[in-house]
Amino acid sequence: MASMHPQIQVLPGLSPALPPRIGWVSPLQRKLEPLSPLVGGGSFIPAPISDNPGLPAEDGSRVIAAAYRDPDLNPGWLYVSADSGAHWMQASAPNNNWFSVASSADGINLAAVASTGSLYTSADGGKTWVSNNVPSQPWFAITSSGDGSKLAAFPGGDSPFPVYLSTDFGRTWEPDVTREGSWASAAFSADGTKLAAAMGGYQAGLVYVQVTQPTLSISSSNGSLMISWPKNVSGFVLEGNSDCRTTNWTRMTNSINVAGEQNQVSVLRTTGNHFYRLKSQ
């Protein structure tokens, strides 16, 4: 039986103190100072948001900004622009202590989180917004894949909370309890297969990357077991154990053969139960 669990791996030697107000996080995610020039100074030129978003524009023309609060210390607003920031319009989402925003590459699927516990998404470039069904915890960061389907929301503050993940544009969410913490910032890769996040904000923290283990396959072959996994996977070793409830996992020393697109290891059948897993090095 294969044991498969996504893991979060610490990047050694990286322990930055990253305040939650850091600017650009990734090409797909933008966070601004709580008191941005949109409300604290400079010119504010409203412009309507079209009922028809038109063709997707992955050139940065559709952008979103968030204000934590206004100059009078009232909760801030979300703002959207369809012309690279030349004109802005206040979004219909309620005012809140917005802390982080995320966008799909074309600027159509948007998400925003507030330190007061709210998480909102928009599927029409910011014209309408929907409150998502997530726990009310202090959200400090949110990030999106390039198409907007994958979202990851990260809590911050003084107490650790679980990360929440969505694979359907925010319609449903699941907790990822493999790593709880007080997070400051996060970023998805464009295809949504890689996720990086930094703890900290109020104190020094580590940078983490989430690594999803490849799938093991087991088949019977001439009295032996054939264990296989994708050959393009690196950084993992095969381990075995007669009882998966214990920590007595041992590294398999059997030779690895490549057949097509798979790594294969042949092991003799044994009586009783035996379990196998891939472990990151």
Domains of the chain: 2-211 (2.120.10), 217-280 (2.60.40)
Residues 27-40: what's their mean pLDDT?
32
pLDDT of residue 57: 52
Other beta carbons less than 10 A from residue 82's beta carbon: 22
Encode pLDDT of 214-235 as tens digits: 788 888 878 888 999 888 777 7
pLDDT of residue 201: 65
User: CA 188: distance to chain centroid?
Assistant: 5
DSSP-assigned beta bridge partners for residue 249: none
Encode pLDDT of 68-89 as tens digits: 998 889 999 999 999 888 899 9
Residues 238-254: what's their mean pLDDT?
88
Residue 147 in this model has a pLDDT that exceeds 60: yes
Encode pLDDT of 91-126 as tens digits: 999 999 999 999 999 999 999 999 999 999 999 999
Residues 19-41 as b/e (b if ≥16 CB within 10 A, e otherwise) read ebeeeebbebbbbbebbbebbee
pLDDT of residue 15: 29
Residue 205: pLDDT band by 50, 70, 90 thresholds?
Answer: confident
Minimal CA–CA distance to 90: which of 132, 134, 39? 39
Q: Yes or no: say if 31 and 203 are a contact pair by the CB < 8 Å rule.
A: no
CA distance 240 to 249: 5
Tokens 């464009």, located at residue? 190
Q: Is 270 left (phi over 0), alpha (psi -120 to 50) or beta?
A: beta
pLDDT of residue 55: 38
**Which residues neighbour 193 within 8 Å (Cβ) at sequence distance 6 or greater?**
212
* pTM of the predicted model over 0.85: no
Q: Yes or no: say if 11 and 208 are a contact pair by the CB < 8 Å rule.
A: yes
